[in-house]
Structure 1
Amino acid sequence: MNQQKGILLESGTNELELVEFSVGTNKFGINVIKVKEIIQPVAVTPVPHSHPHVEGIIELRGEVLPVVNVAKALNREPQPQTRASKFIVTEFNKQKMVFHVDSVTQIHRISWNEIEKPSQMYQGLESHVTGVIKLKGEMLLLLDFEKIVVDITPEYGVTVEQVKKLGTRERSEKRLVVAEDSPLLRKLLQETLNEAGFYHLEFFENGQDALHYLQSIVNEGTEITDRVQLVITDIEMPQMDGHHLTKRIKDTAGLAKLPVIIFSSLITDDLLHKGAMVGAEAQVSKPEIAELVSKIDQFIL
């Protein structure tokens, strides 16, 4: 897996690599960037009173990591462990966690515009599916791993309490555009940014829709900063990812002056250079909402 990371694509190309894995009869995908390694299952130590989705803990190279059964997280009946079963060791939101799946098959290199947003039957705050990819006549579902983690440990999510510590603030005249594909995160961001004093928020499910909106303002002949003061974007989104959105904004004369903050679970020391390459003014790791608000204040004063 580390070798795969060595060939990851340059920032702003709107492409990614997905690890394909199975749970029951369904095939799913996880961004290679989130994956540290894939190992054979090892003995798991159960933890009394832990969340039902957590099998227990393992020790891996001196670190104690929780193991999540993905079947249980998806409200499926777990299958008996076989020789094909795998542990996917991940790191995102500055947390390391292991996900137990039925098998891991291959890695796909695709474009974000090949990922379709889920149909109505998958949408809603309870959905764990953020995208659908058609590959060789089969459907690969892109899982919202951040939601799985927040379901188990709510304190790892974006919370209003983090913003309340900032005290009373007046930012009601500021207008922000937010690109975030997760319905859960859009709801949480609306609540927390409102608490932070921001009420004029335009939310979009992906970078492509956000870019079209910004371009429409420029095409009207309006100065962009008269209508929008700042853009917040996730990285992983169907149709157009946050790195490509940022690059397109910075490459467009009428939009280039617009500050962009990347707010993503993929902000790590190893990946900061990717956001810097496309011109982002700041990069903040989820769920550090207070840090995000601080950065917003820095660039719109």
Structure 2
Amino acid sequence: MAVNEDAILLDSGTNELEVIVFNVSSGTYGINVMKVREIIQTQAVTPIPNSHPHIEGMIRLRDEVLTVVNLMEVLGCPQSVDHSQDKFIVSELNKLKVAFRVSGVSRIHRISWKQIEKPTELSQGLQSATTGVIKLDEQMILLLDFEKIVVDINPTKGINIEQVRKLGKRERNTKKIVVAEDSAMLRKLIHQTLTEAGYEQITFFENGKEAWDYLNFVYESEDLSLEEEFQLLITDLEMPKMDGLHLTKRIKETDEFKHIPVIIFSSLITDDLYHKGIAVGADKQISKPEIVKLIEEIDLMI
């Protein structure tokens, strides 16, 4: 099953997404269609000696060799004896293609980011691998944090503060940056790396709606200056309530705000999806975890 680009949302910035629903053992989970290249039948997997326990091995898909991650191992589910319904979900994130083994794939649902709720602290205990909860047709669907799954297996695919230290000591602490990022782990890493780069005045929000509300609050305030408080905005794409594309679109379509530089910093910046950020007017799009490139673009903009 190939995921056709035309089948994905035709318009950028609608604050909607399409979710592929799948099963891992008895649990029901979801993944954003934008992360999926195709869904294929399982095939023989070649084991990789001394690999991470979550890695099942590797497969050849046409002219590429892909690592296979077993989500039953990741989620601590009992291994099924019957693999007749198993599928490989081939995903691309952080400029890396990975095949994830799942117990079966059901269908695609189009929903609004407003329908996605933040996981409770208890559900986040599930290896902290969930980014959101969808209640749909009396069904509870957990959105998995595939980026974190990959980084847990291979930390080199995450944000590396050591790369920033090579830039040397810099003075940037008069510049104010606003960041919309739903992952607590990434908020912490972004804070550490930007601070190391000299940007110490950073305001974080957990989703695009909070950032949008703050932008309007500052604009309407008699005591705050928009130019001083909002010199640059960095946004993730996948966020509950309001995603990064919709946030960027609203900023760039509002005369009072459109001068604010917006950088999309996401694992979904791929050749196939780059046009979506262009369509909503993003000033730059940078793929996680290219933190040095992000800092270099911030330097140029402010």
- Classify the TM-score, shorter chain: over 0.9
Could you tell me how far apart the structure 2 residues matched to 1:276 and 1:251 are? 13
Task: Flag the 1:266–1:3 CA change in 2: closer, same or farther, 3 A.
Answer: closer
> Is residue 2:20 matched to residue 1:19?
yes
Task: Flag the 1:81–1:64 CA change in 2: closer, same or farther, 3 A.
Answer: farther
Residue of structure 2 in register with 1:262 after alignment: 264
Secondary structure of 2:143's aligned partner: strand
Residue of structure 2 in register with 1:299 after alignment: 301
Could you tell me how far apart the structure 2 residues matched to 1:138 and 1:263 are? 31
Pairs within 5 Å for 1:1-301: 1-2=1-2, 4-9=4-9, 10-123=11-124, 126-221=127-222, 222-300=224-302
Q: Deviations over 1:242-286 (max 9, x none)?
A: 000001111223222111000001101221111111111100000
What one-letter code is carried by the residue in structure 2 that aligns with 1:232? Answer: I
Could you tell me how far apart the structure 2 residues matched to 1:157 and 1:279 are? 27
- The worse-fitting range, judged by mean Cα deviation, of 93-102 and 123-132 is 123-132
Structure 1 outlier segments of 4+, above 6 Å: none
Could you tell me how far apart the structure 2 residues matched to 1:76 and 1:195 are? 40
Contact preservation (8 Å) 1:180, 1:205: yes
TM-score calculated relative to the size of structure 2? 0.96
Secondary structure of 1:237's aligned partner: coil
Contact preservation (8 Å) 1:5, 1:32: no
Unaligned runs of 5+ residues in structure 2 are none
Contact preservation (8 Å) 2:75, 2:126: no
Task: Flag the 1:145–1:198 CA change in 2: closer, same or farther, 3 A.
Answer: same
Could you tell me how far apart the structure 2 residues matched to 1:266 and 1:27 are? 23
Could you tell me how far apart the structure 1 residues matched to 2:252 and 2:105 are? 38
TM-score calculated relative to the size of structure 1? 0.96
Secondary structure of 2:282's aligned partner: coil
Could you tell me how far apart the structure 1 residues matched to 2:82 and 2:270 are? 33
Secondary structure of 1:6's aligned partner: helix
Q: Deviations over 1:222-251 (max 9, x none)?
A: 431211211000001111110000011112
Contact preservation (8 Å) 2:177, 2:234: yes
Could you tell me how far apart the structure 2 residues matched to 1:27 and 1:124 are? 17
Could you tell me how far apart the structure 1 residues matched to 2:127 and 2:201 are? 26
Q: How many residues matched? A: 300
Following superposition, the deviation at residue 126 of structure 1 comes to: 4.8
Task: Flag the 1:21–1:295 CA change in 2: closer, same or farther, 3 A.
Answer: same
Q: Deviations over 1:62-84 (max 9, x none)?
A: 21110000111122233234221
- The worse-fitting range, judged by mean Cα deviation, of 215-224 and 254-263 is 215-224
Task: Flag the 1:125–1:286 CA change in 2: closer, same or farther, 3 A.
Answer: farther
Could you tell me how far apart the structure 2 residues matched to 1:175 and 1:3 are? 40
What one-letter code is carried by the residue in structure 2 that aligns with 1:250? Answer: K
Could you tell me how far apart the structure 1 residues matched to 2:179 and 2:104 are? 35
Contact preservation (8 Å) 2:131, 2:143: yes
Contact preservation (8 Å) 2:3, 2:37: no
Secondary structure of 1:122's aligned partner: helix
Could you tell me how far apart the structure 2 residues matched to 1:124 and 1:251 are? 39
Following superposition, the deviation at residue 124 of structure 1 comes to: 7.1
Contact preservation (8 Å) 2:119, 2:130: yes
Could you tell me how far apart the structure 1 residues matched to 2:268 and 2:112 are? 18
- The worse-fitting range, judged by mean Cα deviation, of 75-84 and 11-20 is 75-84
Could you tell me how far apart the structure 2 residues matched to 1:74 and 1:123 are? 12
What one-letter code is carried by the residue in structure 2 that aligns with 1:267? Answer: I
What one-letter code is carried by the residue in structure 2 that aligns with 1:233? Answer: T
Could you tell me how far apart the structure 1 residues matched to 2:162 and 2:274 are? 27
